[in-house]
């Protein structure tokens, strides 16, 4: 569950069936509304899982990647900013 549209920190919660959940803490970037963050997060988690990463590591890595993309978000017109997707850092 992502918390990007809530007030306060940009924390997300990783719920795992049959196991305790994990809070994924984050800081809110002062860039205003950004479009596509949830889709990008789910795609990044999926890609990391496909590479063989464990679920929690995949979620943490994906969250860090999306946070970098949000920090570099670009305004194109009058709507929400678009993510600036950068290559994954190893």
Name the more confident of 7 and 30: 30
Q: Which residue has the tokens 């990391």?
A: 48
Name the more confident of 41 and 8: 41
pLDDT at 89 (0 to 100): 58
Percent of the chain with pLDDT over 70: 84
pLDDT at 27 (0 to 100): 86
pLDDT at 90 (0 to 100): 47
Q: What are the C-alpha distances in Å from 81 to residues 7, 59, 88?
A: 18, 23, 21
| 67: exposed, middle or buried (Cβ count in 10 Å: 0-12, 13-18, 19+) | middle
């Amino acid at each position: 569950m992502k918390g990007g549209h809530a007030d306060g920190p940009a924390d997300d919660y990783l719920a795992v069936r049959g196991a305790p959940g994990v809070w994924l803490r984050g800081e809110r970037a002062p860039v205003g509304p950004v479009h596509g963050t949830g889709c990008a997060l789910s795609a990044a988690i999926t890609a990391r899982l496909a590479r063989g990463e464990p679920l929690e590591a995949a979620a943490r890595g994906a969250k860090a990647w999306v946070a970098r993309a949000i920090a570099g978000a670009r305004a194109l017109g009058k709507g929400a900013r678009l993510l600036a997707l950068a290559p994954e850092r190893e």
